[in-house]
Amino acid sequence: MKKKVQVLLGFGIGAFLLWYLFKDTDWQAVGHALRNANWWWVALSLALVFVTFLTRVKRWGYIVRTAQPVSFRAMFSATQIGFLGNFTLPARVGEVIRAVVLARLTGLTFSRCFAFVALDRVTDLFGLVVVMLLAATVFQPTEAIVLDDWTIEPDLIRVTTLSTIVLVTGIISAFVALYCRKALALRLVSATVGRVSPWLSEKLQGMLAQFADGMHVFKSVGDMSRAIFWSLVTWTIGTLCYFCVVQAFALDVPWYTAIIVMAFLAVAISVPGPPGFVGTFHFGIVGALLVVAPETDRDVAKAAALVAHMVNTLPVWVAGAVCLYTEKLGLLELRREGEHVDDEAETDAVSTPLES
C-alpha cells in the first residue's frame, strides 16, 4: 500500500509541475529556440554525461573493492542498469536493482551490495555539500526576486540552502558515527526501541551491525579520500554539462548559473516524482535560470530544460540497454527480484536512510 501511495504521489507531483510549468508556453517560441540552439554545445554536454558514468564507477570502486576484487564491467553494468531502473520504473527502484545486479554478477550477498550502494550515496553527498556551499557563496541576492505571481525573499534562498547543507552534513555525520561508535548506537537502539518491541530492537540492531560492518571503506583514509575526490570530479563534470546547455542557448546569465542549476536540481529531484524525474527536473532547471536571471525568456528557459533532460536521459537509456543486453538480464525481472528482497526487508522492519 505504501509503495502504491508513493507511486501515485510521484506521478501526481510530476503531472502538476509539468502542467504548471508549460501551461502558458508559446510552443512556436520553444521550437524556434530549439532550432537556433548550438547543438555542438549539446553534443559536448552529452559526452560529459557519459564521462560521469565512468567517474561514478571509479568512485564506487574504492568502496566495493573492500569486499573482494570486482571487475569494472560488473560495477559499470550494475550502475547503468540501476540508472535505467530509476529512469523507466516507478518508485525509484533503481538503487535496489543496482544492488541486485552487483550481487548476481559478483556472488556477493544482496545485503552487502546494498550497503555498498548506500555508501556510494554517502560519498556522493560530499559533492552535494560542496555545490551547496558554492551556491550559497556566489549567489547572494540582496533584493526580492519577482517571478510572475511569486516573490522570493533573499532570506528564503539563504535559509533553504543552509538547511540543505545542515541536513546533508548530518546524514554524513550519522554514517561516520555509526561506524566509529557502533556499540553505542546498538545500546541506544536497545534502550529505546527495545522498551517498545524487543523483536523489532533485535532486528534493527542486526541491520545496523551488518551495515556498520560493511562500511570498510572508512578503515582506509586513502580509499575514502579517493572516493570523495571522484565524487567532486563527478559533480564538477555534471556542472559543466549544464554550463554547456546554457551556452547552447546563448542565455545571458551570470557565470555561476550552472552551479545554481546543480543546487536547484539536487533539491528538485529529491521530491517524489515519476520515472525519469519528469516534471521535477524541468521545474528545477527553469526555476534556477529564472532565479539567477529573472529577465530570461521563459520559453527559451523551457527549451533549455527540455534539452537538459534529454541530455541526461538519452545516455542512461543507451548505456542501460547495452548493459542489459551484454549481461543477458531483464529489467522487469530485476524489478521483481528487487521488490521481493525489499518486501522481505520491510517484513523484518529493515530500512536504509539513503534509500531513494
Candidates 277, 259, 232, 306; CA nearest to 34 is 306
CB atoms within 10 A of CB 346: 12
128: its cell numbers: 552535494
Lowest mean pLDDT among 71-80, 181-190, 278-287, 339-348: 339-348
pTM (global) more than 0.85 = no
Candidates 164, 347, 162; CA nearest to 270 is 164
Residues 6+ apart with CB under 8 A from 152: 144, 145, 146, 291
Rounded to an integer, what distance in angstroms lies between the CA atom of residue 109 and that of residue 113?
A: 6
Candidates 142, 78, 143; CA nearest to 106 is 78
User: At residue 186, what is the residue type?
Assistant: L
Cα-to-chain-centroid distance, residue 45: 18
Confidence of residue 356 (pLDDT cuts 50, 70, 90): very low
pLDDT above 70 (res 213): no
Lowest mean pLDDT among 16-25, 45-54, 67-76, 142-151: 142-151
Mean pLDDT of the chain: 85
Rounded to an integer, what distance in angstroms lies between the CA atom of residue 74 and that of residue 299?
A: 42
Confidence of residue 211 (pLDDT cuts 50, 70, 90): low
- Please give the average per-residue pLDDT across 338-349, as a whole number: 56
pLDDT above 90 (res 222): no
DSSP state of 89: S
Residues paired with residue 151 on neighbouring β-strands, in sequence order:
146
pLDDT above 90 (res 300): yes
The confidence score (pLDDT) of residue 64 equals 87
Rounded to an integer, what distance in angstroms lies between the CA atom of residue 51 and that of residue 312?
A: 12
pLDDT above 90 (res 341): no
DSSP state of 293: -
pLDDT tens, position by position, 66-77:
778 899 999 999
| H/E segment holding residue 187 | helix 182-196
Residue 25 backbone zone (phi > 0: left; psi -120 to 50: alpha; other: beta) = beta
- The angle, 0 to 180 degrees and rounded to 10, between the axes of the packed helices 280-292 and 257-268 is 150
Candidates 282, 278, 277; CA nearest to 25 is 282
Rounded to an integer, what distance in angstroms lies between the CA atom of residue 127 and that of residue 113?
A: 22
The confidence score (pLDDT) of residue 19 equals 92
Each residue of 245-272: b (16+ CB within 10 Å) or e?
Answer: bbbbbebebeebbbbbbbbbbbbbbebb
- The proportion of the chain whose per-residue pLDDT surpasses 70, expressed as a percent, equals 86
